[in-house]
Amino acid sequence: MEHYATLPIITKFAIMPRITEIRKNHPFVAMPKVQKEYATAKFAYIDRKGQEWDFSRYEKANILSNGDTNTKTAKNTRKTKILYLVPATKSGVNYCEKASKGCIASCLFSAGRGAFVNVINARKNRSYLYNQFEDFFLQKITKELAKEATKLGKQGKVLAVRLNGTSDLPFVEMLYMKGLLSELPKNIVFYDYTKHKEKAGERKIGGFRYVVTFSRSEDNGKEALQVLDQGGIVAVVFRGQTLPKYWFGYKVVDGDERDDLMLDLNPRKGNGIVIGLRAKGQAKGEVRGFVIDCDSLSDCRVL
Ligand code: SF4
């Protein structure tokens, strides 16, 4: 398929079952009729527990966050927009289908500003908004991206977009399938981290560059090596302040430098690149194997 030029594996048919599964599990889908009728406004709903959620503020308020609200994306060389939802099953819906126990325990979701109750609630609200009003949600983020990219385009600048700040969903693919990518100016580049091996790599989608780094966990080390062999990028979390020079013979670069680094690495087939990250916050004490304790700092070979 023309739109998936580099790695042709992800197709409309591979994406649809995942979206269907997400819909099937969302907390509003089995809402009793009486509660559905109790909806009090265009964007308000009562959930199974009887709690009312009013999303109407998102008709005006932004869904996407600015990159400078996060320490690492603030270091990006490109202006960045990022989407934060609640990861894994924390909203009652699984947004990270392939998350491991170790990565859930170490997830940066609660790091930095993410520890504040108002930030957590905002992320929950966005998550429920997406579950219940998917079309509105996708159209709204498209509008926000178009506005920012148009502004930057006048200055000859590019907008970097990470739609899975704390989730692992096929957002870019959904925007493409719904025809929304065609509404965006072309000075946008998308990037993401994923645990879906078939999604890792670089491709063109709807005319946009999309770079996806595979995220290594305690249960997918072999897949990580396959991605590297195919010339992909893999993120690996190491304990301690000093990163190894190589991981299984693949060059390690300092991923803490900035979040959009993957856009500038351009690895080649057989010569993948490792984005090395230092364990931070609660990940420092992680013991399931998500964080690697290296056997050697010259060529670490702990899978
Ligand atoms: S897959 Fe990523 S976002 Fe999801 S729980 Fe694991 S580390 Fe967090």
165 in ligand 1 pocket by Cβ < 6 Å? no
d(CA 20, CA 2): 25
223 in ligand 1 pocket by Cβ < 6 Å? no
84 in ligand 1 pocket by Cβ < 6 Å? no
Determine the pLDDT at residue 229. Answer: 94
Measure 32 CA to ligand 1 centroid, in angstroms. 32
Residues 6 or more apart from 73 whose CB is under 8 A from it? Answer: 67, 80, 82, 162, 258, 259, 260
Neighbours of 43 (CB within 10 A): 17
83 in ligand 1 pocket by Cβ < 6 Å? no
d(CA 79, CA 101): 33
d(CA 287, CA 15): 33
Pocket probe mutation, ligand 1, options 18, 107, 109, 169, max atoms within 8 Å of Cβ? 107
Give the ligand 1 atom nearest the CA of 165. Answer: 3
d(CA 58, CA 45): 14
Whose C-alpha lies nearest to ligand 1, atom 3? Answer: 166
Residues with pLDDT less than 50, the chain: 1-18, 22-40
Measure 31 CA to ligand 1 centroid, in angstroms. 28
Determine the pLDDT at residue 114. Answer: 64
Whose C-alpha lies nearest to ligand 1, atom 1? Answer: 99
Determine the pLDDT at residue 112. Answer: 64
235 in ligand 1 pocket by Cβ < 6 Å? no
Whose C-alpha lies nearest to ligand 1, atom 8? Answer: 107
Determine the pLDDT at residue 34. Answer: 31
Determine the pLDDT at residue 230. Answer: 93
pTM score of the predicted model = 0.88
Tokens at residue 161, please?
Answer: 């977009």
99 in ligand 1 pocket by Cβ < 6 Å? yes
